[in-house]
Chain A
Amino acid sequence: MRHHTNYLLTVILLLMMTLLPAHALASNSHSSGEMDVKEVIFEHLGDAYEWHIITWGNSHISLPLPIIVYSVESGWHTFLSSRLHHGHAYEGFHLATEGKYVGKVVETLPSGEVVRPLDISLTKVAAGILINSLLLVCIILGVSSWYKRREVTDKAPRGFVGAVEMLIVTVYDGIIKPSVGEDYKRYAPYLLTAFFFIFFSNLMGLVPFFPGGVNVTGNIAITLVLALCTFVAVNVFGTREYWREILWPDVPTWMKCPLPLMPVIELFGIFTKPFALTVRLLANIMAGHSVILALVCIIFITHSMGAVIGGSLTVVSVLFSIFMNCLELLVAFIQAYVFTMLSAVFIGMSRVKQHG
């Protein structure tokens, strides 16, 4: 009986995943008449100063988020994004509607010049990062407190703690130990944090309603910071042998002197590695979100083609959305796994010892 209930719950959740954004979009398209798929997708993929939760009929329900800006003229300003609704200006700031900074907070200087202030607003993605971080810390500390309360001789955990332990052991024994080598204990906390941060953010991104549904790991700032952390871990703690292999590799002398061909290539490689990490994660997650949104949008585009075509395509689109969501669950894990594995491999390569 319990199995049946679980299946039913899964199916309902999957349907909700596809239909909830559909509902939100439906009201969107009704109010504006025509639906702009590109705008819908880009709005989701990008950032915003407020967290749009749902549109019910004609009323938009959104969470205003704090805007924190620093102006060279007037110093720090903190206010809620609701002050800037409908093109209003507040304390000399307003949302740009055109030009280079479209959609961003800009400042109108007394001279009439429009400039972009230093903007560290708690935007939708930033709020998503904070929520994900908080939840992740709670989960992992909750799990670790389970271990603190127990002895080695006690039974292994079951249920949720057991599942988290399984993930940790998968990463710890499957990636970190074989890839990093001797000093794996030193790097394990960073690699595990990276794995769980990415994995958890990916999963939260797939949840279609508040507080999930933010495209966190599909944002370049996030993947860039993660890749830079790996960059630091690799290059700051690299051994002498690692640097020797970059600056004076074991190749025929004419390839490194007088023209330092190989050293240049190797140095270039230092930077391509984190770049590849950044783009791989970003592109995968962004693509997944785009495809799911596009499939949901099909429902509303075909809506005007009549009941038969619209209805049948809706069924197809819902089925495809379910499939894509399942695929994205897989991708959520795989991308976290790949990022962690590559980071571990790069770190392992930077820990090389003298040959022989």
Chain B
Amino acid sequence: MELFTPDAGLLFWMVLSFGVVFLVLAKWGFPVITRMVDDRKRFIDQSLDAAREANEKLTDIKKQSETILAQAREEQAKILKEAADTRALLIEEARAEARTEGARLLSEARVQIQQEKEAALRDIRQQTAQIAIEVAEKIMRKSLTDERQHMELIERMVESEGPHPLPTSEE
């Protein structure tokens, strides 16, 4: 039964060495390792959380950028449309202006032409009258002596000839 009776000497050595081993390892051995393992676990968990957060942020940013892009595209379309509208408006305005300007110029030109025509006509009429007088003078010189009689005669004749009697010529 020697195997089943604890020996006093062995008990002493075992208590001594196990005690020393326990004290040494409990102070400098296991706590260092378990703390590190726990810390590493926490660190990994944190890293995972951070990665997940970053991923979520990235997705958010992607979504945001997409909306921004869509908005920009919309804006662009709007601006383009506005530009086209403005252009059309401007063209329309310019056209209208041109039309009115043209009309004004035309009417002005017409008035001027009218005036010039009238001046020319008057001129012509005067010249004609002059020529006629001269002609008539030459003719009448032979028959009429009174110039005044000549003029009256001529004017009557001219009036019955010309389509537009000129007010200026009557004076």
Contacts and interface: CB of A to CB of B under 8 A. Distances in A.
Given A221-B10, A225-B11, A225-B14, A133 B21 contact: yes
Interface stretch (B25-33, B78-86, B88-96): B25-33
Interface residues of B, number: 34
B52 interface: no
Given A136-B21, A141-B29, A193-B22, A172 B6 contact: no
Contacts of A122: 13
A129 B17 contact: yes
Q: Main SS of the interface on chain A? A: helix
Size class of the A contact interface (CB-based, 8 Å): 35 or more
Contacts of B4: 220
Contacts of B24: 137, 141
B8 A119 contact: yes
A148 interface: yes
Interface in A250-293: 286
B15 interface: yes
Contacts, number: 127
Contact of B3 (A45, A119, A164): A45
Given A119-B8, A189-B26, A193-B30, A152 B18 contact: no
A226 B34 CA distance: 22
A96 B37 CA distance: 53
A153 interface: yes
A140 B13 CA distance: 21
A79 to B, nearest CB: 15
Contacts of B30: 140, 144, 168, 188-189, 192-193
Contacts of B14: 126, 129, 221-222, 225
B9 A189 contact: no
23 contacts: A120-B9, A123-B7, A123-B9, A123-B10, A126-B14, A129-B10, A130-B13, A130-B17, A133-B17, A140-B25, A140-B30, A141-B28, A144-B28, A144-B32, A165-B37, A168-B37, A188-B34, A190-B22, A193-B22, A196-B25, A220-B3, A220-B5, A224-B11
